[in-house]
Every structure is written in structure tokens, then in C-alpha cells.
Amino acid sequence: MSKIQSPKGVSEYFPPRSANFEYVRNAMIAAAKNAGYWMMELPIFEETELFVRGVGESTDVVSKEMYTFEDRGGRSITLRPEGTAGVMRSVIEHNLDKGQLPVKVWYSGPFFRAERPQAGRYRQFYQVGIEAIGADDPEIDAEVIAVAHRAFTSIGLSNFRLDLTSLGDSESRSRHRKDLVAYIETLDLDEATKERAALNPLRLFDDKREEIRAKMSNAPLLVDYLNADAAAHFEQVQRLLRSFDIPFTLNPRMVRGLDYYTGTTFEFVHEGLGAQSGIGGGGRYDGLMADLGGANLSGIGFGLGVDRVLLAAEAEGLLSEEKLAHDPLDIFLIAMIPAAKDCVALLTNSLRNLGVRADMAYGDRALKGAMKSADKSGARFSVVIGEDEIASGVVKVKNMESGSTESITLGDLNAWKGALLH
């Protein structure tokens, strides 16, 4: 029979590399929790309208990359391409915006974009994200950026930079938009590009084509249109980042790929990843909640790409199949004779009840094969139980590194604890 393969362009993690994926993801989650963010678990599919309104029709994500289908009730459903719109929908729906502010939440899970697959770009990929809703202070902008920075450095990453800009408040943006539209009207553009520009002229800054880049090289930049309030906010964010020792580069042409951004906007770029170098990004989205029918609260957050952060950690030699971020077993147990199997199963179970990480050999393999499994398991200790051990009730626990042994009475759980849990 022919084998079934995974769908094109999805990322999958299986042992042993899955241990490194889990480690990277958990390190990023830990950074979020460390700063007072609460977990949120959201649906993987939402009404299509949420992303059309939230993320914006001019974006590639909405116009070309969504996995959209009709469900059995005839509703248009989309697999979530990003997390912010769903968080906003849930916060509004469950009135979290009427409680204590800011609402600070984190999430982690799969996201879906029908992009052209390549190294570091997948159709199902993973993010850890945070959102802070209802605080206008520049201090929260600096906090969000610092959480991402701490997430990366806690893994040991160093070969990355932070690009920063401000996309302004609504007043600055509308003044800029007028001039930008007038500038774009002077350009000779194809129809599709004109249509995009009509939806959101900022999108042309994000165009990858060389001829469009050249045409946009003299376009007016938003940072030159910031009014006093927006400029002061952005200045304060920069001052705070300097005081946090977080280096950044100002990149006034960065607009990011989603339409909801306003004000402080940022992207972390890893130098060792080639084309798909964005390991995380985010920013303010001060009009999004109102656009989705909620209160007029501001927000800021980020999404970090777990797949790419793992690739970055591997590129920096921090993790590999040999350097696994895997908690090893404490002990591996082997029955030398069939009659010892019950005893081994019972002891394994009792040790697990004590919190010892224990596993045992299955199948009726010879001792040599079972010892190989013990070695491969990475367990710190092993024990072999045969006729003598059952008769005497005393077993020899072997330290796999030094080879030394210690005798322990089978039923003496305190002795087991003392030997294995430290």
C-alpha cells in the first residue's frame, strides 16, 4: 500500500528534535509568564470576517494566504493565520476589556498561511505571542519588546537585531497618507499594485519587487509626520530600551505585513537564517479593538516564530540532535527474567508516583539489548532485576556515568528517593 505523506509545507517535530522545539517554546512562554501575562487558549478556526476586518484586505495574509472553507452549516471559516485578531475577538466577547486594565495574555499554538514553502517558511507554523490591551503608556511598549528580547536571550541567542519604527497615531497617519497617496499617483504602476495601494498605500513599502522598491525610494516616510504626542511617545520607548540595554536599529521603511499596526512597531531579525530571517515581530494596534466592534482601547503585542527560533538556535550551535534540551530519565529498569517483569513494572510505577522519571525495558530482549535501551534513554541510573534480586529483595542501582553501584532494598521508598531525587 502506498504511504501517506504530510501535507505540503507543514512543519513537524518528532523525537529527538521535538525536545528542542518544546524547550524553545517553553522558554518563550516562561518569558511571558515572568512579566505577568495570563494564558489564553483560543480556537484554531474563526469566522473569516474576523481576519478580513482585523488583519486587512490589502495584506498578502488575507488576500492570498488564508485557508478558508465553508463548514457544514454554510458559514465561512478560516484557519487562524495569526493570533491578535482572535485575542481581540475573545476579549470583546467575554468583556475582559471592562475589567482590570491592561489585559495581559499569552498564547501558543499553530497558525496557518498558504505561503510558498521554503526553509523557515511553512504553511502550518508555531507562534508564542503576547498581547497587552488597554494601556497607552510607552512603558508597556518597552515591556513587550523586552519580553521578546528576554525570551531570545534566555535561549542563548545573540546573533539577532531589533528593527524599530513608529507608524504614528491616527492624526499623523492621515496627514502622511494624503502625501503618500499623492506620491503614489505619480508612479507608473500595474493595476493590481494600484488596487493594493488604494486599500492601504503603506503596503507598497513592503513590496519585495526591485522596481517597486526603487519607485518607493523617495516616498514620504511616516516617521517624518509624527505629531508632538506620537513623537514624544516614540522617544520615550527608545529611552526606555536604551536604559534596558536593548540595542535597536531605526528602520523607518518597515511597515510589517498586517494592516492593524499603529505607533511603535518592531521586528527581530536573525542574521543566520537567510531569507526567512524574521524570528518575531509586533507592535501597537490602537484602532483594532474599535474596528472589531469593541471599546476604543489601545493594544500592543508580538508573535514569535517558534520554528524559526529553533532554526536560529541551531544555527548558533546552541541546540542540535546531539545537544538536546531534553530532561533525561532518572532511571531505566530492566527485568532479566520473565518472572521479574511484574516486580519491575510495580517498581517503575512506584518510582513514578514519587516523582522519579522512570522507564522500563519492554519485550523479551536479551540483557545486552535492554542495556542498549538504557544507554539510549540517557537515564542517569539503571537497575537490572533477576532471580537473585527478587530472592534477596535488594537491588544494585548503577550510576550510568561513573559505573559505580549502590544497593537499595526494593520496598524502601525513602532510600530510592534519596538515591534518585536530588
Site of interaction with ligand HAM (CB under 6 A):
82-84, 113, 115, 121-122, 125, 127, 129, 131, 257-258, 278-283, 285, 301-303, 305, 307-308
Q: Considering the complex, what minimum distance in angstroms separates the CB of residue 421 from ligand HAM?
A: 38
Q: Which is nearer to ligand HAM, 83 or 294 (CB)?
A: 83
Report the candidate in 172, 248, 162, 165 with the shortest Cα–Cα distance to residue 205: 165
Q: Which is nearer to ligand HAM, 152 or 285 (CB)?
A: 285
Q: Which is nearer to ligand HAM, 92 or 331 (CB)?
A: 92
Is residue 267 within 8 Å of residue 163, measured between CB atoms?
yes
Continuous H helices in 64-137: 84-93
Q: Distance from CA of residue 132 to its chain's centroid? A: 16
Q: Considering the complex, what minimum distance in angstroms separates the CB of residue 302 from ligand HAM?
A: 5
- The reply to whether omega before 16 is within 30° of 0 (cis) is yes
Q: Considering the complex, what minimum distance in angstroms separates the CB of residue 280 from ligand HAM?
A: 5
CA distance 219 to 101: 38
CA distance 209 to 214: 9
Is residue 267 within 8 Å of residue 254, measured between CB atoms?
yes
Q: Which is nearer to ligand HAM, 61 or 351 (CB)?
A: 61
Q: Which is nearer to ligand HAM, 23 or 285 (CB)?
A: 285
Is residue 149 within 8 Å of residue 166, measured between CB atoms?
no
Q: Which is nearer to ligand HAM, 270 or 398 (CB)?
A: 270
Q: Considering the complex, what minimum distance in angstroms separates the CB of residue 11 from ligand HAM?
A: 7
Q: How many CB atoms lie within 10 A of CB 382?
A: 23
Q: Considering the complex, what minimum distance in angstroms separates the CB of residue 145 from ligand HAM?
A: 11
- The reply to whether omega before 102 is within 30° of 0 (cis) is yes
For 343-378, give the DSSP string.
HHHHHHHHHHHHT--EEE--SS--HHHHHHHHHHHT
Q: Bridge-partner residues for 106, per DSSP?
A: 39, 130
Q: Considering the complex, what minimum distance in angstroms separates the CB of residue 128 from ligand HAM?
A: 9
CA distance 374 to 382: 7
CA distance 324 to 308: 17
Q: Which is nearer to ligand HAM, 168 or 280 (CB)?
A: 280
Q: Considering the complex, what minimum distance in angstroms separates the CB of residue 170 from ligand HAM?
A: 18
Q: Which is nearer to ligand HAM, 201 or 278 (CB)?
A: 278
CA distance 260 to 314: 33
CA distance 291 to 258: 14
Q: Which is nearer to ligand HAM, 150 or 398 (CB)?
A: 150
Q: Which is nearer to ligand HAM, 168 or 283 (CB)?
A: 283
Q: Considering the complex, what minimum distance in angstroms separates the CB of residue 378 from ligand HAM?
A: 30
C-alpha angle with apex 225: 221 to 230, nearest 5 degrees?
120
CA distance 280 to 267: 6
* Cell representation of residue 64: 492570498
For 287-322, give the DSSP string.
THHHHTTS----EEEEEEEHHHHHHHHHHTTS--SS
Q: Considering the complex, what minimum distance in angstroms separates the CB of residue 165 from ligand HAM?
A: 14
C-alpha angle with apex 93: 87 to 99, nearest 5 degrees?
85
Q: Which is nearer to ligand HAM, 36 or 393 (CB)?
A: 36
Residue with the shortest CB distance to ligand HAM: 305
Q: Considering the complex, what minimum distance in angstroms separates the CB of residue 321 from ligand HAM?
A: 21
Q: Considering the complex, what minimum distance in angstroms separates the CB of residue 210 from ligand HAM?
A: 22
